[in-house]
Amino acid sequence: MTTCNLRILGVDPGTATTGWSVIEMKKKEIIPVAHGYISTDKNKSEEERLEEISGDLQKIIKKYNPKEAAVEKLFFFKNQKTIIQVAQARGAILLTLRQKSVKVSSYTPLQVKQALTGYGRADKNQIQQMTKNMLHLKSLPKPDDVSDAIAIAICHLNSRIYNNLNSPSGMSRQSGIRLRRNSTG
């Protein structure tokens, strides 16, 4: 029997900080592979910052070879200047993923929170706690952009299972998943 290992890259877009996470589905277990963030210098031009995000994301893709990615959708921002900058970062991320042939799915913050905590209005701390507990991490993923990226990846994995998209490994809605401690912590 062949085992289908599915690597998913979760991305929380931002111009100043872009959170990322790679998780793997292996024998019905979620395994945390790596996570971190891309931080750009506020003194650089917009195009330099977007180029940095794209370049760093290309390195992450090359190193971890995810087959699919989940990126947070934009929904509503009070600050119109912020939404434009985040939208530009999201655009650079989507283009980079497309150029690297990584299949992309998008989820709203409400969908991600609902998938992780069962409550669509969960706060940042609740998301951090849940990602730490679900993946048995030694400490809270920080900054919160990282825990958001982990949550986005888990949301995508749950969505695949629910929608029975993981047929190569025989997963179905009823099969469920198990969580496993990352050997590196």
Q: Which listed residue (52, 72, 144, 148) is catalytic?
A: 72
Active-site hit among 24, 52, 68, 145:
145
72 catalytic? Reply is: yes
Q: Which is catalytic among the residues 12, 24, 68, 144?
A: 12
Closest residue by Cα to residue 18 from 126, 97, 80:
97
Give the number of residues written for the chain: 185
Nearest to 3 by CA among 171, 169, 178: 169
Residue 148 annotated in active site: no
Tell me, yes or no, if 56 is annotated catalytic. no
Catalytically active residues, by annotation:
12, 72, 145
